[in-house]
Amino acid sequence: MADTDSRTGTTYANLDVLRWLEKTHAGHDAGLQRAFDAPTRHAMPAIQVGPAEGKLLELFVRLVGARKVVEIGTLAGYSAIHLARALPELGALWSFELDPRHVQVARDNLQAAGLDARARVLEGPALDRLAEIEREGPFDVVFVDADKERYDAYGRWAARHTRPGGLLLGDNAFFFGKLLDDTPGARAMRRFHEEAREHYDTVCIPTPDGLLLGIRR
């Protein structure tokens, strides 16, 4: 049964509809399925974006003709595959991951998908390592999907290094439904929203946990 918003009268699709749409528009090939299933195989947290969100990221990268993309938070490389596939042959993706075990899984998945030549996974705290790639900027797209307590800091870095017309994308923008709580993570996420609005034309897309989209002014 579909859900209806009592304030607006809008009816939302149920899970069966969403699954059919996901299969129709965001189906997996072998490379994507390998990466999507990797958290289960390797006892990693299964916190990657969903298939529809991954395809959405890929389309955004293609829409702006991106050649240089930064991802903060690699996990098993599922979103990295989507981002890298949207790039032209000489495009480049720099993806940052803290956990060394996750780094190796992601590198293996990118290699299996035939994307290791254009996607580089850098190990360590992103805030410590982002300076290493600044000379490659300005960047066309920055996608943030990492530790939520540092989203505001990642957003500030992106604002300094994204070209006009480039994109800021931030997953988990609803902060798991706790965006308005009085916690360090919620406060950091609210700052991420508010500060993004200062530099970008923004909207929050109602994906399952929200995706902030900003176009750099």
Helix/strand/coil (H/E/C) assignment for every residue in the chain:
CCEECCCCCCEECCHHHHHHHHHHHCCCCHHHHHHHHHHHHCCCCCCCCCHHHHHHHHHHHHHCCCCEEEEECCCCCHHHHHHHHCCCCCCEEEEEECCHHHHHHHHHHHHHCCCCCCEEEEECCHHHHHHHHHHHCCEEEEEECCCHHHHHHHHHHHHHHEEEEEEEEEECCCCCCCCCCCCHHHHHHHHHHHHHHHHEEEEEECCCCCEEEEEEC
**Rounded CA separation 114/77 (Å):** 12
**pLDDT confidence band for 178 (50 / 70 / 90):** very high
User: Has residue 2 got a pLDDT over 70?
Assistant: no
Tell me the per-residue pLDDT of 54-91, one tens digit each, with 9 for 90 and over: 999 999 999 999 999 999 999 999 999 999 999 999 99
Domains detected in the chain: 8-216 (3.40.50.150)
**pLDDT confidence band for 7 (50 / 70 / 90):** low
Average pLDDT of the segment spanning 142-154: 98
Which among 107, 105, 102, 104 is positioned nearest to 93, based on CA atoms? 107
pLDDT at residue 14, as a whole number: 85
Whether this prediction's pTM lies above 0.85 is answered by yes
% of the chain at pLDDT higher than 70: 94
